[in-house]
Amino acid sequence: MSDLLIELFSEEIPARMQARARDDLKSMITHGLVDAGLTYSSAGAFSTPRRLVLSIEGLSTESKPVREERKGPSASAPPAAIEGFLRSTGLTPDQLERRADKKGETLYAVVEKPGRAASVIIAEVLESTIRTFPWPKSMRWGTGTLRWVRPLHSILCLLSDEGGAEVVSLNIDGIQSSNTTAGHRFLSPARFPVTSFDDYAVKLKRAHVVLDSAEREAAIWQGAQNLAFAAGMEVVEDKGLLTEVAGLVEWPVPLMGRIAETFLGLPPEVLQTSMKEHQKFFSVKNPKTGRIEGFITVANTETADHGETILKGNQKVLSARLSDAKFFWENDLRVAKAGMTEWLDGLNSVTFHNKLGSQADRIARIAALAREIAPLVGADPDTAEQAAKLAKADLRSAMVGEFPELQGRMGMYYAREAGLPEAVALAARDHYSPLGPTDTVPSDPVSVAVALADKIDTLTGFWAIDEKPTGSKDPFALRRAALGVIRLVLGNGVKVCLVDLLSKAYDEIVNVSAKTRQLYIDGHPNYGIAYQINKVPFDEDGDEPRYSGQPLLIGEYLGRPAGKSVSFPAETTYGRLAGRGGEADLLAFFHDRLKVFLKDQGIRHDVIDACLAMPGNDDLTLLVKRAEALAAFLKTEDGPNMLAGFKRANTILSQAEAKDGVEYSYGADAKFAETDEERALFAALDTAEAQITPAMRSEDFAAAMAAMAQLRAPIDAFFTAVQVNSDNPIIRRNRLNLLHRIRAICSGVADLTKIDG
């Protein structure tokens, strides 16, 4: 057994690519070695900005010899067949074996591959790995043709055991493998030889390189916390940043600085984002004031002045950055306090989607929709409309222009500074939420109304122009929007018929666009005609329709000065798209997302299907209440048994109905009951019905299901004692009608026939 050490030493590898590169190196090399017949006991990959490293332990010293046998054609087969076999095996006729069998003689090719030394295999596998490495972006350099993420300078490839170490020789485009590496670029630049992985790691550390990124991360985090703690402050945790920073340094040295007083009035998110995005600084919070007052930068070197120069430089850069941020903030406040009209006007010229109009158009639609939704979620319609109108104003602010990730967040600050109601400020912040399956769901009624309106407008809009998600493609994040609606509705227990909302959203798309149209109708009678026929809205220039509300009836439209007709551009002949009928399709999309969502919550597919089959299935809250009650019921002991009884009743009844061509819904009469079990079932159904009816009325599906569960024993007893298909037609009919009562009573919550098992 021996150990293998590989180091690929290059110019600085982008931090974001390192983790993936470690995994790729490990899997490509180990798979390659194993495929070639070697075995190993463990492997570990490491990276620094300048090196990609793999250490493999317990590697076999040679591959096992392999004997491959292939059966060929009969010895008496036509020459062409035999030649083909020879070609495919690469053998000559005298190398084939002839073996007698029932049919005569058959040809066999036996290829013996002798075992190969590990070093030979390693050289091959490493070369092919380097040549085919899947960097997200790679490059050439100098006169070479080799591609790597940045110029590759040296290859260390060492096979070692108790006896010593040998270099695995390979030469790739002039880079000859060796047993040497270099230390830190500035602190220990000399090259040095190593004898094993342990020797390598120890010597690297002496040469100011911490090999393991996890160790660097830990050191940075510990160092940062110590610095902050000593100053009575705390570091704001940021895992992503920590990983990135660890990928930028070989010898991390955290340094802490203070943010100048003049910038402390900026919102904490602004400080944090600016420092992180531009400088890769961690934020440091003062627990006493709750403000971000300091920063941690991580240097890649130690200096004689203990980082003083470095810190001073960083501080200066930060001041310049924050001066910009402060300038944006102060300018933005001026606009915000003046009512944000400058931004709102500006949104007219920001295209949301070329077929769905500008951001301003979209905001008008969302505002109208939020007003409709408001009463359903307990929000004041005026406030909801106002919030919707202002929620996206910050998209035009200088700060969001600089830091797009602060959208909404800045809107909140600006709304507050402008003296708007807190609900409006919160809606600006929260109306994009929830952004994923774990993101917090807004609960303030106004935020809920605007968030729902925002997402529903997005969904209906893209449905209207036929930009639905397909397969893995979902460029407009419509699945996320639908999940957002689902979580908003369920999280806040909103009772709403989704189809109604979708219809209203479609109306808005037509109406708002019609308002846009009005501009062109004025003074141009022909536009009016075009509008009447087509409901085709035009953009500001009046020369390109964004979408059509109705199928186009004319091959030209009159959206140009009167008297001049223009043929309709080919790419805009999507007249059918915004028409009705999209709601059902979109509802099905919601149902698909809901299934995924509920499945993650442990509710079975068939349970959801059973509830989807019920009326009112566009009321998601109601739908989920049904599903939850049914799922809980099926987990009880009585549940599956009652279900079996129900299904038996249903099967017998359905067969009889099919055979007789009638529906047995005349009502069963207890006086025709012959047995105690039959009478008991009548009684049990009466009792259950008395409980189920009020429970259903108050949508207490759990109570309804509990009442149904009580039918389990009487139904079981009934089927054990009674033959439904009695010879007496009156008794038979009465019993079928009795089964119908079971079916009717048990079908209130869900369509139980859809449940598996």
Gap between the Cα atoms of 63 and 114, Å rounded: 8
**Candidate list 93, 104, 313, 436; residue touching other proteins; CB under 8 A:** 313
Give me Rg for the CA atoms of the chain.
37
Segment interacting with other proteins (CB under 8 A) among 25-33, 133-141, 604-612, 718-726: 133-141
**140 makes contact with other proteins (CB under 8 A):** yes
**Candidate list 178, 279, 511, 621; residue touching other proteins; CB under 8 A:** 279
Gap between the Cα atoms of 188 and 174, Å rounded: 25
Count the site residues for other proteins by CB under 8 A: 41
Pairing of strands 357-358, 351-353: antiparallel
Pairing of strands 42-48, 253-258: unpaired
**304 makes contact with other proteins (CB under 8 A):** yes
**316 makes contact with other proteins (CB under 8 A):** yes
Report the residue number, 96 or 318, with the smaller CB distance to other proteins: 318
Question: Residue ranges of the alpha helices (H) in 378-431?
Answer: 381-390, 398-402, 409-417, 422-430
Report the residue number, 150 or 648, with the smaller CB distance to other proteins: 150
Gap between the Cα atoms of 489 and 620, Å rounded: 7
Segment interacting with other proteins (CB under 8 A) among 307-315, 452-460, 708-716, 736-744: 307-315
Q: At 196, which helix (H) or strand (E)?
A: none
**Candidate list 74, 178, 188, 303; residue touching other proteins; CB under 8 A:** 303
Gap between the Cα atoms of 652 and 659, Å rounded: 11
**542 makes contact with other proteins (CB under 8 A):** no
Gap between the Cα atoms of 252 and 213, Å rounded: 11
Report the residue number, 309 or 723, with the smaller CB distance to other proteins: 309
**Candidate list 27, 141, 229, 690; residue touching other proteins; CB under 8 A:** 141
- Here's the x/- map for other proteins, 225-264, by CB under 8 A: it reads as -----------------------x----------------
**299 makes contact with other proteins (CB under 8 A):** yes
Minimum CB separation from other proteins for residue 492, in Å?
A: 38
**286 makes contact with other proteins (CB under 8 A):** no
Gap between the Cα atoms of 397 and 202, Å rounded: 52
**136 makes contact with other proteins (CB under 8 A):** no
> Interface residues for other proteins in 16-55 (CB under 8 A)?
16, 49
Report the residue number, 300 or 737, with the smaller CB distance to other proteins: 300
**Candidate list 90, 92, 102, 143; residue touching other proteins; CB under 8 A:** 143
Cis peptide leading into residue 434 (ω within 30°): yes
Angle between helices 498-521 and 359-377 (to 10 degrees): 140
- Tell me the sheet residues that pair with 696: none
Report the residue number, 150 or 205, with the smaller CB distance to other proteins: 150
| Residue in 658, 668, 674 with CA at minimum distance from that of residue 737 | 668
- Asked if residues 519 and 360 have their Cβ atoms less than 8 Å apart, the reply is no
**164 makes contact with other proteins (CB under 8 A):** no
- Asked if residues 14 and 149 have their Cβ atoms less than 8 Å apart, the reply is yes
Exposure of 192 by Cβ count < 10 A (0-12 exposed, 13-18 middle, 19+ buried)?
A: middle
Gap between the Cα atoms of 602 and 513, Å rounded: 43
322: left (phi over 0), alpha (psi -120 to 50) or beta: alpha
> Interface residues for other proteins in 349-368 (CB under 8 A)?
351
**Candidate list 5, 15, 256, 453; residue touching other proteins; CB under 8 A:** 15
Minimum CB separation from other proteins for residue 250, in Å?
A: 11
**186 makes contact with other proteins (CB under 8 A):** yes
**150 makes contact with other proteins (CB under 8 A):** yes
Which DSSP category does 275 fall into?
I
Report the residue number, 311 or 368, with the smaller CB distance to other proteins: 311
**137 makes contact with other proteins (CB under 8 A):** yes
**Candidate list 310, 377, 387, 494; residue touching other proteins; CB under 8 A:** 310
- Tell me the sheet residues that pair with 117: 62
Exposure of 521 by Cβ count < 10 A (0-12 exposed, 13-18 middle, 19+ buried)?
A: middle
The three-state secondary structure class of 51 is strand
- Here's the x/- map for other proteins, 49-88, by CB under 8 A: it reads as x---------------------------------------
Interface residue list for other proteins (CB under 8 A): 11-12, 14-16, 49, 137-144, 149-151, 153, 186, 248, 279, 297, 299-301, 303-305, 307, 309-314, 316-318, 320, 323, 351
